[in-house]
Homo-oligomer: A and B are copies of this chain.
Amino acid sequence: MSAAQPLFTTIITIGDELLYGQVIDTNSAWMARLLNQSGILVKRRVAVADRWDDIWQALTEAPQQGQLVLITGGLGPTADDITKPLLCNYFGGKMVVHQPTLDHVKNIFENILKRPMIERNAKQAEVPDVCTVLMNQKGTAPGMWFEKDGVVYVSLPGVPMEMQWLMENEVMPRLLTHFKTGHVVHKTLITAGVGESFLAEKIKDFEASLPSDVKLAYLPNHGMVRLRLSAWGMDKAALENQLETLFQGLQVAVGEYLVAKADLPMEKIVGQLLLERNQTLATAESCTGGFMAHLLSKHPGSSAFFIGSVVSYSNRIKESELGVSHQDAITVGVVSEPVVRQMAEGIRQKFSTDYAIAVSGIMGPGGATPEKPVGTVWMAVSGPAGTQAQCIHLRFDRAKNIEWTALQAMNYLRQYIVEKS
């Protein structure tokens, strides 16, 4: 690999709401993934409030990290948005009207919003005269490109859709012309059924043999561990080759714990298995309340295998819609093996699918009994090879319990499909 250096970036996100914790910053992760695809590495992410001194300090520190600084947020039309005047001051310019942006803003109000434009909106078209304006086709606040002492600074609105459009259409093409960026390659696999430290023990010889410029990371979540190999270089083909060879070694090293050779969410792994087999799936959900259906349907193309769901949040729906025995519901309870089996078989028959998943459990904080503490979950899978059920015990909060239940149930279906079809 080349001895050259990757292009390192600082991402600065601006907004009081990030510091109060009222908004989760998803922009930085999205930007990092996009930059990675073009070989640009994020060295540091900084979030500061809409406060002049804090933003200023973050700007002065950023060039230490590399030649690119990406800034989001603080470009709105209200008084708490101070990024634009600050940047004008920082780069020593004065504010001027950018006529194409003014025309664009006028057009948005006249033809799309169909509301009169007010002075505040026209202000969106003012920019520092020391920047290159990046036209924002998705909103009123333009992006701005500054250069100073060999460092590029790009300011973008914080609205995710507008930031994303500008990154893809205006920023990335310019960056790839301006810098020689090289390539980042990641290879990720997913393991299940083994803890992080045992996995590390199992693959320690492989890990010790890795070249120093290839990094191995352990990413545990939902009872599974993802392993990721990463490297950067100028020669993409050579890098791909090197990583592919190492990746095959990693697959051998993890052995029987391998679940998938790509970094896919579990619902996509299941979806691919079903698509390959031209088979269909429905879910009957009690404690997950529709979350499995949401995961399955949020990906484009899922209608080819996902038929639908009955969310039987109320127990009477389990009986009326899924054919659960009233007797079982009141004697062994709805969080039980017979009930999830009936739910799975009921939805499979009702929706005429090849497979069905059913879950019923106690997600907390309420609902526990002495025999069934919070985190008790029964799940069943029904398919051409019959119905099977298992009980798991989770120990998280409600949100995490819902997430884990959904992913464990889909993994249970994955195992069923792989082993029995």
Contact = CB atoms under 8 A, between A and B. Distances in A.
A364 to B, nearest CB: 7
A5 interface: no
A47 B58 CA distance: 13
Interface string A392-421: 000011111010000000000000000000
A42 B35 CA distance: 28
Interface in A33-89: 33-36, 41-50, 54, 58, 61, 76-80
B41 A30 contact: no
A195 B112 CA distance: 13
A296 interface: yes
Nearest to A194: B115
Interface string A142-153: 000000000000
Given A47-B44, A120-B197, A294-B290, A23 B29 contact: yes
A20 B186 contact: yes
A237 interface: no
A317 B201 contact: no
Given A32-B21, A61-B61, A303 B314 contact: yes
Interface stretch (A93-101, A304-312, A324-332): A304-312
A300 interface: yes
A292 B311 CA distance: 11
Oligomer: number of copies: 2
Interface string A281-311: 0010100111111101110111100111111
Interface of A: 16-26, 28-36, 41-50, 54, 58, 61, 76-80, 113, 115, 118, 120-121, 159-161, 186, 195-198, 200-201, 207, 215-220, 228, 230, 263, 283, 285, 288-294, 296-298, 300-303, 306-314, 316-317, 321, 350-351, 364-366, 396-400, 402
11 contacts: A16-B230, A17-B228, A19-B41, A24-B29, A43-B49, A44-B46, A80-B217, A160-B400, A289-B293, A289-B294, A309-B311
Given A21-B31, A298-B398, A300-B365, 12 more contacts: A21-B29, A21-B32, A22-B33, A22-B228, A22-B263, A28-B47, A76-B220, A77-B197, A161-B397, A307-B316, A309-B310, A314-B351
